Amino acid sequence: MDFRKQDRSADPGFFATEAAGLRWLADADGARVVEVLAADDHSITLQRLDSVRADRAGAEEFGRSLARTHAAGADTWGAPPPGTDGRGWIGPLPQRNQPESTWGRFYAEHRVRPFADQAHAAGSLDRSGYDVIGRVCERLIAGAFDDVDTPARIHGDLWSGNVIPTAAGWTLIDPAAHGGHPVTDLAMLELFGNPHLDRTFSAYAEAAALPDGWRDTIGLHQLHPLLVHAVLFGGGYAARAVAAARAYA
């Protein structure tokens, strides 16, 4: 039986963007992606996945296949999936897939700053923490962390719940796909944990070059999801975002 997600209150672009992101990732011929069977303004119907126990071999193959997905690339930093209008979502929250000339500018202006603004307005991020994150944004825009030359085709919301181990291979669901930095996906896996993550990272690094010192920037790439969680769930995540930001301010 297939799996259908339905929400009649959803923005008409929500499910279309999810479907386009899944198809774009699948076109990379890398990591397995759940098949989209149908999508309309209020629902999406997907292939049903039967999960299995995650093992080391699956983790390694996922690392290699994710590297291939990233290598398929995107036209620009912040490029939206083809056929979409730049509107995107992470979980229930809207965000923009807005092309920019550098990764740092895209990440600052369309990922970190908008959610810092929302968290501050909601009271979960205090003024001093907001200012720390603002200094990181200034460094991002100035190019201090632009350590890769071309945009990757990334999932964009790659926490463990969006990677389903199946008998056919680990399979991606629920993307926030765009042209971004490959470490963004790896950092999300690390933030919330994933089985045999060391094997995934090692296999990825064997299949594709990563920037020197990439592990030292994982906290930078975690700012966005931490701030998203601060907006959704409150101040504990905001404090974690500020603590991470201090290393890059």
Query: 142-152: per-residue pLDDT in tens?
Result: 999 999 999 99
Q: What CATH number is given to the structural domain containing 85? A: 3.90.1200.10
118 φ/ψ angles, rounded to the nearest 5 degrees: -65, -45
pLDDT above 70: percentage of residues in the chain: 99
What pLDDT, on a 0 to 100 scale, did the predictor assign at position 176? 98
- Distance between CA atoms of residues 152 and 198, nearest Å: 21
Question: Rounded to an integer, what is the distance from CA 194 to the centroid of its chain?
Answer: 15
* Domain assignment of residue 66, yes or no: yes
* Domain assignment of residue 215, yes or no: yes
Query: 29-76: per-residue pLDDT in tens?
Result: 999 999 999 999 899 999 999 999 999 999 999 999 999 999 999 999
* Domain assignment of residue 148, yes or no: yes
* Domain assignment of residue 234, yes or no: yes
* Domain assignment of residue 46, yes or no: no
Q: Which residues contact 57 (CB under 8 A, 6 or more apart)?
A: none
Number of structural domains, the chain?
A: 1
Residue 229: name the closest of 246, 214, 244 by CA: 244
* Domain assignment of residue 83, yes or no: yes
* Domain assignment of residue 2, yes or no: no
- Distance between CA atoms of residues 220 and 214, nearest Å: 10
What pLDDT, on a 0 to 100 scale, did the predictor assign at position 9? 63
State whether the Cα torsion 190-193-194-200 is positive or negative: positive
What pLDDT, on a 0 to 100 scale, did the predictor assign at position 45? 96
Exposure of 78 in the CB half-sphere (CA atoms within 13 A): 20
What pLDDT, on a 0 to 100 scale, did the predictor assign at position 8? 66
**Residue ranges making up the domain that contains 138:** 51-246
pLDDT-flagged residues of the chain (< 70)? 1, 8-9
- Distance between CA atoms of residues 68 and 80, nearest Å: 19
* Domain assignment of residue 107, yes or no: yes
- Distance between CA atoms of residues 194 and 16, nearest Å: 28
